[in-house]
Chain A
Amino acid sequence: MRLRLNTLRIITLLIFVSMLVRLQDLQFGPDAATSRTQIEQVTTRIDYTAPRRGEIFASDGTTLLAASEPVSIVAVQAELLPTKRLERAAVFMRLSSLLPFTDTLTITPTSALKTNPALAGAVAQLVPILPADIDFSPGHAVTLTVPLSQSLAALELGQVYSDVITLNPGADKVLRDADLPPYLLVPVATNVPRPIALALRENSAVLPGIKVVEGFNRTYPQSPQIPSLSHMLGYIGRVTEDDLEQEQAGPPTYLPNDIIGKDGVELEYEAVLRGVLGINQIEVDAFQRTVGEPQVMRPLKNGSNLILNIDLDLQRQSEEILHKWLTIADQRRISLASQNTPIGQKIATYPPITKGVIIVMDVNTGAILASVSLPAYDNSLFTRPLSQADADSIFQNPDAPLFNRAISGHYPPGSTFKQFTAAAALRNGIITPETRFMDLGKLVVRNKYNPDATNTYPNSNSHAYGMINVSDALMVSSNVFFQTVAGGTDYVINLGPNDPTLEDGLGIERLHAMLVNDYGFGQPTGVDLPDEVAGLIPDPEWKRDVQRKTVWSVGDTYITAIGQGDVQVTPLQLLRGTVATATSGKVYEPHIVKAITNYSRTQTTTIEPKIEHQIELDPAYWAVIRDGMRRSVQDPRAYNRAANASNKPAGDILAAIDRFNLAGKTGTAEYAENGVLRSHSWFVGFAPFDNPQVAVLALLEGTGDVGDGSGTLALPAVVDVMRAYFKEPVPDINGSIPAASAPPQPPEEQAQR
């Protein structure tokens, strides 16, 4: 008896000692530290709070161009979904009963519909009309679309006949298509109405993994009406792998389901608009419920807002005006193409005329008040899933509507360039305002190496203007004058014995230096938009290194001086150069954005106008250049006036030019398209002449020879924009003034302008 009792006592002791040994092993052994880290990982979660993306306003500071609208978003967190397929489907089907997802169910094999009348009956109740082409032979499956509002019935069916019916909920597809890590919330429906959001929250117990979060939806309220805004605003999209790879080590700034600016100011000002992703550490219990207060690891900071320099009315009207003149140009193309003349036959090969640019700049700040590049696209299409038709119209369109011609297009500037050649010649003392040269309508130049060969450099229509000075040359747009000034008369053989000559002239080096170093051609302007191109001012080095052609000839200098040949400028560069003329040498860094305000719009940081460079030139010389440009549109003898005498759609354009005191320069710039020599129409001008406030550029691609495009399309377009700028009614395509379409402006405001 003693022995037996003592045996049991020893067993008892052994059991308890083994417990103590095991306890100390678990608490102090190698696993203990692991336990602690595991607990931290499991019980603490990092919770991210998305910042509200900053909004974008027009120059009035109140009209929203890009809005962040608060919306309820239904999101799925895959790791919290049930793991069993049917339970998972049940969650999604319940979701479908509240939100319009397209669910399908697959019956495998279809023969079950024949062999099982109960199943067939139930299916018929759900989907009354089965597809006619069901193959009932063994091994075939059929997929049926569940009618809206029948998702719960379909779920029941799927549960009862789980052996033959597979449910394919629409929300599941959205989740899988998003292809994001399971710990992230994947939005499956945005803009969820409040009652439905409430219903989902209340039923969260039967919807594990489904979360309703408050988020923001990007909208571009003005873009559908004024698509040209899209080039400046840009658009947003989900971050890409590349974006994420650029992240620096440390706390993330983007999550794989975040959106990021892809173009325009959305991209350029991403850092400002984005704000800072809030990072909280939260403790969760075994049911993933948040416990206690979150610990803020990085505070959320909402994005700042942008106020653009863009005047919405002016932008809208500029777009309408460009549309109007492109339409007129195209009507002319059609009408000319029907004529059996050499020009008509050439124009018959032209595709429809659709492309152009208008930019409006504030002469005193370099602010871009309006910028239209056609064809445009509607960036609001990018705020929701893009339909195939919309995607094709944007991405497959040969006219490349995503392309912002104002800053990404580069063109030969043609005669608009002569103002810069004039400035270079005046500054380098090649000419004075009084210097005159003989314009015989063309320069015939002897080839330097082959005395028998000659090249001819004519004026437009080889019109001869006689003895003219720089102002006259700008007025009549004489090629001969500026070519003479730039390249000299050393090789010219058609001058009379008493005509003035010029040895060497300005030369390409000095011309190039002035254009690049002073006007900033050949390099981006620094405008606050992405994808700006540099353009090109050729020089002998370039011709040797890049083009690998023969050496630079005087002919190259001649055509460079008149903005032809290899000269490439962006419309914005050209407008900025013209503003320099208007302001006696101020070369601005142009700005789309006027100011940045914080989220609550209590603090505003104004982006000050920035003069990148001041061109040194005698003020009197600037005045001469400006006067030449004034005369090109205001002098009674100016060709541009005669050309517009019967330009009906332009309205009373001559009176308008005089009223605004417009100065400017046309340009017809030749280029080759598909082997056909064509030309662009330019006009760039500023007003009022004696106290410039605004500068406007118009470019209509490929319209130079469609009935003198620069004078009768580009110039009237600029005048129309001036009308809009000065709050005057703009004539419609028939030249008639719309009857009191806009309420009359109070006189004070007009005076301010």
Chain B
Amino acid sequence: MSRIREAFSDKKAFIPFITCGDPDIETTEKIVLAAAENGADLIELGIPFSDPTAEGPVIMEADSRALEAGTTTDDVFLLTARLREKLAIPLVYMTYANVVFSYGTEKFAKKAAAAGIDGIILPDVPYEEKGDFEEAFAACGIDLISMIAPTSEDRIAMIAKEARGFLYIVSSLGVTGTRSSITTDIGAMTALIREHTDIPCAVGFGISTPEQARAMAALSDGAIVGSAIIKIIAKYGREAAPHVGEYVRAMAAAAHSA
């Protein structure tokens, strides 16, 4: 069983997102370890991009801070390798097409695999454009994670049939960021997805409270949280690890109880 599959095997998963290099790579390492110790089942590592068009202001600013600190893709590979020595849970990258393409897609895939990454999410690579990326990553044993949005409708079957790793369900219209309520009928979306695949589905975008995490995990196989964690990192900077750990503990408990 793959590490990703295993993360969803006996309970609902809690998946935190952390931007690598915000405020610096050393702090990111501590934060990821704290998240893992406190119940994270899978961790999304963001590779910063100068112009992240799917992100709201919170993650945009995290990307800016990471790039200003001099973070590069090679730094992220080194960080991943160090984390992989200490962690058994799956790690997936979240970044943008140009970060991968510009590095050389095959070269990127090989380095990521050698560092111990399990999957990658590219929000600006939809189903129709995934071919070259999926091929290069699959050759290295890395799952290119597909996304399904509230507007996907007639596209759900097509995407679900070819999905690998887990499916990322985008909870709402718009960009990443916390929301007071999620109005999409997630239950109906997961039911439709289930007709075409048995791979796990996790819901992201807009989740920040334990109640939301529990509700979204109950309707799917897991909850993904990004902006709420980035806000904690923005507030505490180099001292953020224990604060993120504490937050992850509460959120993971909520998701696991769903």
A and B: bona fide binding partners: no
Report A's interface with B, CB cutoff 8 A. none
